[in-house]
Amino acid sequence: MAGNQACLVREACESGNGRLLDRTTLTRRPTCYSPGVSHAPATILIVDDRDANLLALEAVLEPLGQRLVKARSGRDALRFLLDEDCALILLDVQMPELDGFETAALIRERERTRYTPIIFVTAIRREEEHIIKGYANGAVDYVVKPFTAEAMIAKVRVFLELHRREEELKREVRAREEERDEFERRERMARAEADAHREHLYALFMKAPVAIAIVRGPEQVFVLANPKFEELVSRTDLEGRPGREAIPEQAAQPTWDILETVLRTSDPFLGNEYPSLWGTSGEGRERYFNFVAQPTKGATGDLDSVMIHAVEVTDSVLVRRKTEALAKQLLDSDRTKDEFIAVLGHELRNPLAPILTALHLMRLRATDPSTERERAVIERQVAHLSRLVDDLLDVSRATMGKIDLRRERLDVATAVARAVEMSRPLLESKEHHLVVSVPVGALYVAGDVVRLAQVIANLLQNAAKYTDPGGNIEVDGRHEGGQVVIRVRDDGRGIPPERLASMFELFVQGDQSSDRSQGGLGIGLTIVRSLVQLHGGSVDARSEGPGLGSEFLIRLPAVAEDAPVAEETRAPARARPQQRRRVLIVDDDVDAAEMLAEALKDAGHEVREEHDGASALVAAAQFQPDVVLLDLGLPGMGGIEVARRLRAFPQLAGVRIVALTGFGQPAERTRTAAVGIESHLVKPVDLETVMEAISSSRVSSQSKPSA
For the stretch 223-253, pLDDT in tens is 888 898 888 888 888 888 998 888 888 888 8
Q: Are residues 64 and 145 in the same domain?
A: yes
Same domain (yes/no): 17, 166? yes
552 and 503 together in one domain: yes
Task: Report the alpha-carbon distance of residue 683 to residue 351 in Å, rounded.
Answer: 9
The pTM assigned to this predicted structure is 0.39
Closest C-alpha to 599, from 347, 348, 351, 363: 363
Task: Provide the residue range defining the domain that includes 229.
Answer: 208-312
Handedness of CA 170, 171, 172, 174 (dihedral sign): positive
Q: What is the pLDDT of residues 394-425, one digit of tens each?
A: 655 655 555 667 888 999 999 999 899 888 88
pLDDT over threshold 60, residue 23? no
For 286-298, write each residue's pLDDT tens digit.
888 888 999 988 7
pLDDT > 70 in the chain, percent: 78
Cβ contacts of residue 596 below 8 Å, gap of 6+?
353, 354, 357, 585, 587, 629, 660, 690
Is the model's pLDDT at 26 over the cut of 50?
A: no
**Could you give the number of structural domains in the chain?**
4
Q: Is the pLDDT of residue 485 over 90?
A: yes
Cα–Cα nearest to 437, from 391, 394, 473: 473
Q: Cβ distance 587 to 616 under 8 Å?
A: no
**Whether residues 632 and 687 fall in one domain:** yes
Residue where one domain finishes, among candidates 267, 283, 312 = 312
| Nearest alpha carbon to residue 291 among 262, 332, 328, 248 | 262
- Say what the pLDDT of residue 364 is: 64
Are residues 218 and 116 both part of a single domain? no
Per-residue pLDDT, averaged over 357-371, amounts to 64
Q: What is the pLDDT of residues 620-661, one digit of tens each?
A: 888 889 899 988 888 888 889 999 988 888 888 789 999 888
Of 382, 380, 377, 389, nearest in space to 355 by CA: 382
Question: How far apart are alpha carbons 36 and 33 in whole angstroms?
Answer: 9
Which of helix, strand or coil describes residue 666? helix
Q: What is the DSSP letter of 706?
A: P
153 with 255, same domain: the answer is no
Average pLDDT over residues 324-347: 74
* pLDDT value at 573 more than 50: no
User: How many CB atoms are closer than 10 A to CB 294?
Assistant: 15
Residue 390 lies in a domain: no
Which CATH number do you get for residue 263? 3.30.450.20
Question: How confident is the model at residue 368, as a pLDDT?
Answer: 58
Give the list of residues 6+ apart from residue 453 with CB closer than 8 angstroms, or none: 415, 416, 418, 419, 422
pLDDT score of 136: 81
Q: What pLDDT is attached to residue 432?
A: 92
**151 and 244 in a common domain:** no
Same domain for 651 and 613? yes
3 state SS of 356: helix
Beta partners for residue 586, in sequence order? 610, 630
Give the pLDDT of residue 670: 87
- Pick from 445, 519, 429, 440: nearest CA to 482: 445
Does residue 96 sit within a domain?
yes
Higher-pLDDT residue of 26 and 620 is 620
Residue 54 placed within a domain: yes
| Burial group, residue 148, by CB count within 10 angstroms (0-12, 13-18, 19+) | exposed
Cα angle 590-596-597, degrees, rounded to a multiple of 5: 85
The answer to whether residues 537 and 491 touch, using CB atoms and an 8 Å cutoff, is no
Residue 363 resides in a domain = no
Instruction: Please count the other Cβ atoms lying within 10 Å of the Cβ belonging to residue 224.
Output: 19
Average pLDDT across the chain, whole number: 80
* Statement: residue 208 has pLDDT above 70: yes
CA distance 530 to 670: 23
Domain identity same for 111 and 19: yes
Q: Is residue 202 part of a domain?
A: no
Torsion sign over Cα 609, 615, 617, 618: negative
Residues 172 and 184: their CA atoms lie apart, in Å, by: 18
What are the two backbone dihedrals, phi and then psi, of residue 341, each rounded to the nearest 5 degrees? -65, -40
Q: Do 495 and 409 share a structural domain?
A: yes
CATH number at residue 492: 3.30.565.10
pLDDT band at 353 (very low <50, low <70, confident <90, very high): low
Amino acid at 541: A
Q: Is residue 133 part of a domain?
A: yes
In a domain, 250, yes or no: yes
- Window from 69-78, 457-466, 596-605 with minimum mean pLDDT: 596-605
Residue 11's SS3 state is helix
Q: Which of 312, 329, 362 is the last residue of a domain?
A: 312
Q: What is the CATH number of the domain that holds 149?
A: 3.40.50.2300
pLDDT (0 to 100) of residue 557: 93
Label residue 166 by pLDDT band (50, 70, 90): confident
Q: State whether 212 and 157 are in the same domain.
A: no
* pLDDT per position as a tens digit, 251-279: 888 889 998 999 888 899 998 888 878 87
| Domain end marker among 297, 312, 327 | 312
User: Does pLDDT of 316 surpass 80?
Assistant: yes
pLDDT higher than 50, residue 188: yes
Instruction: Please report which confidence band the pLDDT of residue 470 belongs to, taking 50, 70 and 90 as the band edges.
Output: very high
pLDDT of residue 519: 47
Same-domain status, 544 and 411: yes
Task: State residue 401's pLDDT score.
Answer: 57
Q: What would the mean pLDDT of 578-583 be, rounded to a whole number?
A: 82
Does residue 591 register a pLDDT over 50?
yes
Residue 161 above 60 pLDDT? Answer: yes
Q: Report if residue 568 sits inside a domain.
A: no
What CA–CA distance (Å, rounded) separates 389 from 542?
29
